[in-house]
Amino acid sequence: MQDLSGLEKNLGVIFVDKNLLLQAVVHRSYLNEHPTFAVGHNERLEFLGDAVIELVVTEYLYEHYPNPEGELTTWRSALVNAITLSDICKQLGVEDYMHLSRGESKDIASKARMYILANAFEAVVGSMYLDRGYDVCKTFIGEKVISRLPYILEHHLYLDPKSRFQEAAQERQGMTPQYKVLDEVGPDHAKIFTVGVFIGSEQIAVGQGTSKQEAQVAAAEKAIEKMGW
């Protein structure tokens, strides 16, 4: 069996049943090419880990903040979304231990890889819950996930990029950004939209996506980065 001691060190948790941790890093695509592999894929563990993470984060927010439900829900979403969890997964070095198909192994920078890593993080938590119990998971999630909350709150990262850019533009320049479709290419079932975001007559940034909304969000993200907001 693969030596997972390095991964356990990164996680700060030693597993009794190493096969549980191994299964957490096995993507379904790997088993298509290795059908006799010793353990199954990680989707059931992901299902369990997702619930454990949400419970721990929800419990923490409830106990530490008197804010209304809507605000707490938004904060929780910022903590447990795919962007955050995939980033944590990378920082913990889980990606180096992933079992992926040859095709998935090469696709290192796509949105699909982000979701694979986020799901793997959830699966690791699921395996940890089965192997070590709730208290160990609670400590782990507190250190790796909830520790990001102050930064998220300080930089308003719980807002979607369009809301963040609009809020900053109105505060700093007294103007509301406008979005314009600059181009659209491809057949109806696979269009790619190019959208520009403008403040007044000035084009700040351009984004692309498979829908107008996705392209607007991409443009807003680039605009925030460009303006240093």
**Is residue 36 domain-shared with residue 87, that is, in the same domain?**
yes
Q: Are residues 199 and 217 in the same domain?
A: yes
pLDDT band, residue 229 (cuts 50/70/90) = confident
State residue 115's pLDDT score. 95
Is pLDDT of 164 > 90? no
pLDDT at site 159? 86
pLDDT band at 183 (very low <50, low <70, confident <90, very high): very high
Average pLDDT value for the chain: 94
For residues 18 and 2, give the distance between their C-alpha atoms in angstroms, rounded to a whole number.
9
- Read off the pTM: 0.78
Number of H helices, E strands in the chain: 12, 3
- Cβ atoms within 10 A of the Cβ of 136, count? 15
pLDDT at 180 over 80: yes
Give the tens place of pLDDT for each residue, 197-223: 999 999 999 999 999 999 999 999 999
- C-alpha 10/C-alpha 95 separation (Å) is 12
- Do 136 and 172 lie in one domain? The reply is no
What is the sign of the dihedral through the CA atoms of 86, 90, 94 and 99? positive
Query: Is 131 annotated as catalytic?
Result: no
Residue 34 shares a structural domain with residue 121: yes
Catalytically annotated residue among 46, 104, 122, 221: 122
51 and 98 both lie in a single domain: yes
Q: In what order do the strands lie in the sheet with 202-209?
A: 178-185, 192-199, 202-209
Catalytic residue from among 46, 50, 104, 221:
50
**Span 121-157, pLDDT tens digits:** 999 999 999 999 999 999 999 999 999 999 999 988 8
Q: Please report, rounded to a whole number, the percentage of residues in the chain having pLDDT higher than 70.
A: 99
Q: Is 58 exposed, middle or buried (0-12, 13-18, 19+ CB in 10 A)?
A: middle
* Cα–Cα–Cα angle for 38, 44, 48, rounded to 5 degrees: 130
Same-domain pairing of 136 and 57 = yes
For the stretch 7-23, pLDDT in tens is 999 999 999 999 999 99
Question: Do 165 and 148 share a structural domain?
Answer: no
Decide if 63 is catalytic: no
